[in-house]
Structure 1
Amino acid sequence: MSLKAPHTGQAPDAEVTQAWINLMRAQQRVLTAIERDFKDAGMPPLGWYDVLWELARAKDGRLRPFEIEERTLLAQYNLSRLLDRLEKDGLVERVTFDEDGRGRWVVITEKGRGLREAMWEVYGRSIARHLGAKLPDTDAAQLAGLLSRLT
């Protein structure tokens, strides 16, 4: 274990570069596997789950669009299209709250809660298979601790 001070704006050394490469490859491979599991189960993509999860855990099951964007990895343009699709499928509703009609909540519906729960069944098993089966609990805890330092 290195006792060097953390890097401060310099070019990364070989260990930091390799950590970055491994992190990006692992993320891509696990996300691809999880997306495949959703598709094989006839479920929508992971982005749907992320939005429904954030809404389900929000106070009163509602958030403003910018809050959803802040809590997920979705860009505003993609989020707007996804919210349109979720609303069309009856999974969310948009509710106006400003007198001038500009402010809107996105509210999860019961149908949306049900889909999120069904998706979790697939997602939970997928996380266990693609991550949990490859890391003992102590390694998973260590990885979680290390990654939390980046966030």
Structure 2
Amino acid sequence: MTTASTLLSPAELEVWRTLLRAQARISRRLQTDLLDGHDLALGCYDVLMHLGESPGGRLRMNDLADRVLLSRSGLTRLVDRLQRDGLVERESCASDARGLFAVLTAEGRARLEEATPTYRRAVRECVVSRLGPGELRRFGDILGRLAGDADTPAVPAQRPREA
């Protein structure tokens, strides 16, 4: 049964479609730049980035899957590929025999450091440079609400510029 509360107005539908187009365009650009410059897919970079930001360069596979927005099986396949390439290792969890950690290798950290300027440059060109400081804060707040992080601003009020 269709009710007025389940319908989207043409303007609401256009906003939704614009969000999807923007996300697809930005992701394609990041994917292209990372593949061209570093032979690294965006999903692989995302895994390496989360591991690189974690203490000891390690995360439990379940936690990593949640952070990179992949199913457990999708992450397993991706980590298999990264492990074959020598960028990630798996380690057993001493406190949980069923648990596994994904651990960034020295080669994985070097690859991440090499690819990060390319990633950040594309993010700056596709998003950050198109918004003024006030717009960036508002956009971060909106995205935080959409992501379910209503209490945490996505963009600090003052932040240093990154290279």
Settle same-fold status: TM greater than 0.5.
Answer: yes
Distance 1:139 1:98, change over 3 A: same
Cα RMSD over matched residues? Answer: 2.1
Q: Please tell me the residue identity of whatever aligns with 2:73.
A: Y
* Correspondence list, 1:88-99, <5 A: 88-98=84-94
**Counterpart of 2:80?**
84
SS of 1:104's partner is strand
Query: What is the count of residue pairs matched by the alignment?
Result: 144
Q: Tell me, yes or no, if the aligned pair for 1:43 and 1:119 is still in contact at 8 Å.
A: no
Distance 1:128 1:99, change over 3 A: closer
Structure 1 runs not aligned, ≥5 long? 1-8
**Counterpart of 1:64?**
60
The TM-score with structure 2 as length reference comes to 0.78
Measured in 2, the distance between the counterparts of 1:100 and 1:69 equals 18
Q: 1:109 aligns with which of 105, 109, 134?
A: 105
Query: Offset at 1:98?
Result: 4.4
Query: Offset at 1:134?
Result: 2.3
Query: Offset at 1:64?
Result: 1.4
Measured in 1, the distance between the counterparts of 2:74 and 2:40 equals 15
**Counterpart of 1:22?**
18
SS of 1:74's partner is coil
Q: Please tell me the residue identity of whatever aligns with 2:114.
A: A
Measured in 1, the distance between the counterparts of 2:34 and 2:57 equals 24
Q: Tell me, yes or no, if the aligned pair for 2:38 and 2:115 is still in contact at 8 Å.
A: no
Q: Tell me, yes or no, if the aligned pair for 1:98 and 1:104 is still in contact at 8 Å.
A: no
Q: Tell me, yes or no, if the aligned pair for 2:65 and 2:71 is still in contact at 8 Å.
A: yes
Question: Could you report, residue by residue, the CA deviation over 1:80-114 in whole angstroms, capped at 9, with x for unpaired residues?
Answer: 11111111222111111248853221111121111
Between the aligned residues of both structures, percent identity stands at 34
The TM-score with structure 1 as length reference comes to 0.84
